[in-house]
Amino acid sequence: MKLNNDTGKKLDGVKLIQHVFDGKEIKIIPFGDWHLGYPTCNLKKIKGTIDYIKESNSKVILMGDLMEAGSKHSIAASWIDQEMAPQTQLETLEELLTPIKDNILVILEGNHEFRIYQETGIKVAKILAKSLGVPYGGYSCFIRVRNDKYSYLIYAQHGNTSSRYPHTKMAACIRTSQHTEADIYLYAHTHELADLATIYRYYDSKAKIIEQKKRYFILTGHFLEYYGSYAERKDYNPGKTGVAKIKLFGDRWDIHVST
């Protein structure tokens, strides 16, 4: 693994992470929006996903909002509703993630972790990353994965949108491609699990031909059950829980996504 910050300025988190793997395929799981501590957090499903990661040796990108992190100044009543204090949430996270720490490529910060920073100036996602011995990527970062002969560029971010419908949530993810180039765009925050592949054309100056390539846009899911949640109270659409599973191939340039 190689970590790069390719500017002279001090940055909050590593902005480019490079990993090299050998083999016919590598499995990657973007894993976030647990909201650990919230009453409708499906801890059983989180543990099942962790078991799958161990069994399949999948690599993991932690997408933020792992904690509920409610305080008296939080929107709505999450500080009253949460079933464990933020300190207990952090300790439980460490306990759950330690068995797969060698599988984690990077930890991102979500807006719920950012609540604690706003209140105290303490970055709990950064503390968790240091405790587990894995890179802290701030709110977003690039991950370049080389699998045998082929390279893939992933742009992962927690995201920031108030969109309510599946197509407008996906539009927020797609909007990133207007200013950032990648093969795969990972977007959390929306509590939606969905993927979309689009084709774009470019001119290959070496071969002097016009080529086609795919981009993949992925809304990375969540772990909150609907009934009894703030989503039900606000009349949001129920979003599919769980994670996306991504395969990157080493014997050809090819990406498979299942949601």
Residue ranges covered by each domain of the chain: 16-253
pTM of the model: 0.92
CA dist 97 and 101 (Å) reads 6
Which of 67-81, 111-125, 151-165, 233-247 has the largest mean confidence? 151-165
Phi, psi of 137 (to 5 degrees): -105, 10
- The dihedral over CA atoms of 202, 21, 58, 67, expressed in degrees to the nearest 10, equals -80
How far, in Å, are 53, 110, 169, 172 from residue 218 at the CA level?
19, 17, 10, 11
Both tokens assigned to 44: 């059983």
Please state, for a pLDDT cut of 70, what percent of the chain lies above it: 91
Query: Which CATH number is 16-253 given?
Result: 3.60.21.10
Q: Is the pLDDT of residue 93 over 90?
A: yes
Between 249 and 75, name the one with better pLDDT.
249
Amino acid at 195: D
C-beta of residue 217 within 8 angstroms of C-beta of residue 30 = no
- Mean pLDDT throughout 109-130? 92
Please state, for a pLDDT cut of 90, what percent of the chain lies above it: 71
CA proximity to 47, closest of 91, 109, 93, 103? 93
Q: Is the pLDDT of residue 78 over 80?
A: no
- Mean pLDDT throughout 204-224? 92
Mean pLDDT of the chain: 90
CA dist 114 and 73 (Å) reads 13
